[in-house]
Amino acid sequence: MTFLGGCSGEQEQATQPARKPTPVTVVKIAARDTPVSTEFVGKTASSRRVEVRSRIEGFLQSREYEEGTLVQEGQVMFQMDRKPFEAQLQAAKAELDLGYTTIKAPVTGLSSYAQQREGAYIGIGNNSLLTYVARVDPIWVEFSVSENQILQARRDQKDGLRKPPEGDHYEVEIVLADGSVFPDKGRITFADASLSEETGTFLLRAELPNPLRTGVAVAQLRPGQFVRVHLRGAVRPNAVLVPQRAVQQGAKGSFVWVIDDQNEAEFRPIKVGGWQGEDWFIDAGLEDGETVVVDGALKLRAGAKVEIVAPQTKEDDEPEQSAKAQ
């Protein structure tokens, strides 16, 4: 009976069909020096904001500029009443104050609204402010870097995970509110000497060319705009990147599935770094030349046979969707 029972078990095992290999898509690791960028939130500011004030007392006769427009250095902006000073000039044959009756733009830039209207009496002091002119070419972009970001960058540089540009000359790229990239690039021109006690951040300032473009879709930057700042120039040497969807989370952290030479799945714990587009930097756990599962990983177990298939594209999905619709 024992003999017969043993034969029966062996026959049942022999007749069981072999498990089919699990279809998966993969990516082959190719370590390479990879440019990295860091994103911050910034705000534009005038590179030179100059108040326009009256240097004499008298009545404001006229405003000679259109509020909010670009004015050129030396352009007449306000005209004070000249009659009292012309009379003084004829009596004294010289009077410096007469020249002050014509108020000109101190710099080329965007003009603000007039804070005094025609007929107002302008005195010397607080009442002398008429408007201001803000230079916008070049323009400043100010943004803050947290203390943690500074320390992390230093650790990455020490561990060989980050190589700064030569001379720390980072390139600054601006992304506008609609997602468009401003065509002109800039450089960091100022870094605050101390940490802000209120925010725990360092203030950085970049300067960018901001010419007035006529007949094109690119708008000139104005002071007070919120923008995204991309700091470019650093490189990650021999970086290992995998698609984000290839990385899974387990009880002990992040992991991926690696395919060995026998087309079998191997569980591999990894240490992830930052994101780069749709990919993820891998700080530890993967080597150059290894094959990582991208799609189909949810059906895998250690030692499972796999069949490597081509990734499915959007065009591949369209016939199936059309059939379902019919």
Residues 175-212 have pLDDT tens digits of: 999 999 999 999 999 988 888 888 888 999 999 999 87
Q: State whether 151 and 223 are in the same domain.
A: yes
Model confidence at 316, pLDDT cuts 50, 70, 90, reads low
Q: Tell me the per-residue pLDDT of 265-283, one tens digit each, with 9 for 90 and over.
A: 999 999 998 888 889 999 8
Dihedral sign from CA coordinates of 177, 217, 112, 103: positive
Q: State whether 105 and 185 are in the same domain.
A: no
**Is residue 292, in this structure, part of any structural domain at all?**
no
Among residues 39, 101, 42, 47, the alpha carbon closest in space to that of 76 is found at 101
Among residues 178, 177, 107, the alpha carbon closest in space to that of 138 is found at 107
pLDDT at position 187 is 95
**Is residue 210, in this structure, part of any structural domain at all?**
yes
- Residue 308 pLDDT more than 90? no
Report how many domains make up the chain: 2
Q: State whether 156 and 90 are in the same domain.
A: no
Q: Tell me the per-residue pLDDT of 85-104, one tens digit each, with 9 for 90 and over.
A: 777 776 665 576 777 788 88
- What is the maximum span of the chain, computed from C-alpha positions, in angstroms? 141
What is the C-alpha end-to-end distance of the chain, expressed in Å?
60
User: Which among 236, 265, 295 is the end of a domain?
Assistant: 236
**Is residue 155, in this structure, part of any structural domain at all?**
yes
Q: Is the Cβ–Cβ distance between 108 and 29 less than 8 Å?
A: no
Task: Give the CATH number for residue 85.
Answer: 2.40.50.100
Q: State whether 161 and 197 are in the same domain.
A: yes
Q: State whether 144 and 229 are in the same domain.
A: yes
Q: State whether 164 and 216 are in the same domain.
A: yes
Mean pLDDT across the chain: 84
Q: Tell me the per-residue pLDDT of 28-81, one tens digit each, with 9 for 90 and over.
A: 999 999 998 889 999 999 999 999 998 888 899 999 999 888 899 999 999 998
pLDDT at position 123 is 83
Among residues 288, 209, 276, the alpha carbon closest in space to that of 244 is found at 276
Does this model's pTM top 0.75? My answer is: no
**Is residue 203, in this structure, part of any structural domain at all?**
yes
What residues are paired with 284 via a beta bridge? 271
User: CA of 271: how far to CAs of 16, 253, 267, 283, in Å?
Assistant: 40, 8, 14, 5
- With 0-12 / 13-18 / 19 or more C-beta atoms within 10 angstroms meaning exposed / middle / buried, residue 283 is middle
User: Which among 236, 266, 298 is the end of a domain?
Assistant: 236
Mean pLDDT of 155-162: 88
Of all residues in the chain, the percent with pLDDT exceeding 70 is 86
Q: In terms of residue numbers, what domain contains 84?
A: 55-123
Joined together, the tokens standing for residue 316 give 């591949």
**Is residue 278, in this structure, part of any structural domain at all?**
no
**Is residue 228, in this structure, part of any structural domain at all?**
yes
**Is residue 16, in this structure, part of any structural domain at all?**
no
Q: State whether 142 and 62 are in the same domain.
A: no
Q: State whether 107 and 146 are in the same domain.
A: no
Q: State whether 161 and 225 are in the same domain.
A: yes
User: Which among 236, 260, 280 is the end of a domain?
Assistant: 236
Q: State whether 169 and 213 are in the same domain.
A: yes
Q: State whether 86 and 161 are in the same domain.
A: no
User: CA of 216: how far to CAs of 212, 213, 219, 220, 308, in Å?
Assistant: 10, 6, 8, 10, 49
Q: State whether 152 and 231 are in the same domain.
A: yes
